[in-house]
Amino acid sequence: MAHWKQRGENSFLLVLELGRDAKGKKIRKHKTIRVEDPKLLRTKKRLNDYLNEQLVLFKTQVEAGEYINPKKMYFKDFAEDWYNKYVSKELGITTAEKYRGHLDNHIIPFFGEMNFEQIKPIDIINFKNHLRDPNARKDGKKKSLSNRTVADIYAVLESLFSKAVAWKVIEENPLTGVDRPKFEQKEMKFYEGDELVRVIQTMYDELSDMWRLFFLGAIIGGLRRGELIGLEWSAVDFVHNGLEVRQNIPKTKNGKPIIKGTKNNKKRFVPMPDWYMEEMAKFKISWDREKEKLGDAWEGGEHEFVFHGGTGKPLYHTTPTTQWRRFAKDRDFKYVRLHDLRHTMVTYLLESHVSSKLIQKRAGHSSEKVTNDIYGHVTSKMSKEGLMEFEKLNPKKFGRQLGDNEKNG
């Protein structure tokens, strides 16, 4: 048996009776819906038809086992379920840790005790305003969170509610219609032209073979830090001259490397210049010699990491960042973060008119759209430079004025 009844001006309760339990108590399922269309509320027959349709849909969901009563679920309970079933299993370790921090520091303290279904857009707006309050900070500083941090926290909330809709825990996303926090993207830094030549020359003057090859792998190959740390000799292809990116070491935990797949779980082959591969071949000779000398002191096991700390174990995940900062910080060229070295490769190829599809595969982006979104400023600059080429056709440069044909005709 099923029926509905009005609760408020535009609020209606759907009731589904499912018999009695072992103790003789009636088993009921309830669901509240709101009708926002004023025309529908004023037309009795249309409203009655609509509510009966919703009642049939509700009954179908319950009978199919798809309906979960979110009134019995607090936000904090779903947040933990979402984190354990999705974030910790599907996202990278670093991203998962960032999400965990935003949940614990900001999101759960605000929404935690709220009934999940009853969270409305106004609650989201109130949360956005709360994040602008200096008291929202957890580090004791008396200033508001940065726009970027607010946007990052909001992105966690977007992911959480999107999954809640996809899992049919709720029907409507309370973020719908709420404006996303805006922030200004930091200017992307990279090396170009003579500056890039000077950086590479300085590497040859001041860095060991290992660190030079590591950083060139980022600048020329576009490999991420974790991908270079996880690179093994079996993935260095001297026949086809390139590196196969198979795995990633994003973190080191309790002294042990955490070996994961690539960021997008897709292997990729990155062709490298002949001169780089020749240097890799020379480095392999010295690498083999060092391993043989170590004998029983070798700690790499069956792994043969190209870049290791001296005994075969992969580099600690923050060591390359420290080494790059020491090398680059006080030189006469601008400082570019280690992670941003790959921007140099992408920008160089874009300005050389290599297709964004090829660049996407080389950089390991999930799609060509991601490449275009990240490097849109470069393609915009190229468009303007291309337009300048047409200035060469300006008739004034030929000693003519616009309209000369008409005058002479």
- For residue 257, give the amino acid letter: P
The band of 399, judged by pLDDT with boundaries at 50, 70 and 90, is: low
Write the pLDDT tens digit of every residue in 265-274: 788 898 898 9
Nearest to 7 by CA among 24, 30, 38: 30
Write the pLDDT tens digit of every residue in 51-68: 888 888 888 877 766 555
Q: Is residue 185 a contact partner of residue 138, using CB atoms and an 8 Å limit? A: no
- pLDDT score at 365: 57
Q: Is the pLDDT of residue 233 over 80?
A: yes
Q: For the domain 72-166, what is the CATH superfamily, name and number? A: Tyrosine recombinase, N-terminal domain (1.10.150.130)
The band of 352, judged by pLDDT with boundaries at 50, 70 and 90, is: low
Tokens of 93: 């370790």
Residue partners of 332: CB distance under 8 A and separation at least 6 = 198
Higher pLDDT, 122 or 37: 122
Mean pLDDT across 159-181? 91
Higher pLDDT, 184 or 152: 152
- pLDDT score at 123: 94
Q: For the domain 193-374, what is the CATH superfamily, name and number? A: Intergrase catalytic core (1.10.443.10)
Place of tokens 């910790």: 88
Give the least confident one: 260-264, 300-304, 357-361, 395-399. Answer: 395-399
Nearest to 248 by CA among 94, 97, 88: 94
- Rounded to two decimals, the pTM is 0.62
The Cβ-side half-sphere exposure at 231, using a 13 Å CA radius, reads 25
Please report, rounded to a whole number, the percentage of residues in the chain having pLDDT higher than 70. Answer: 82
- pLDDT score at 398: 47
Q: Is the pLDDT of residue 199 over 80?
A: yes
Between CA 307 and CA 232 the distance in angstroms is 8
Please report, rounded to a whole number, the percentage of residues in the chain having pLDDT higher than 90. Answer: 41
Q: What are the structural domain ranges in the chain?
A: 2-67, 72-166, 193-374
**Which 3-state string (H, E, C) describes 227-248?**
HHHCCEHHHEECCCCEEEECCE
Write the pLDDT tens digit of every residue in 88-127: 988 888 889 999 999 999 999 999 999 898 899 999 999 9
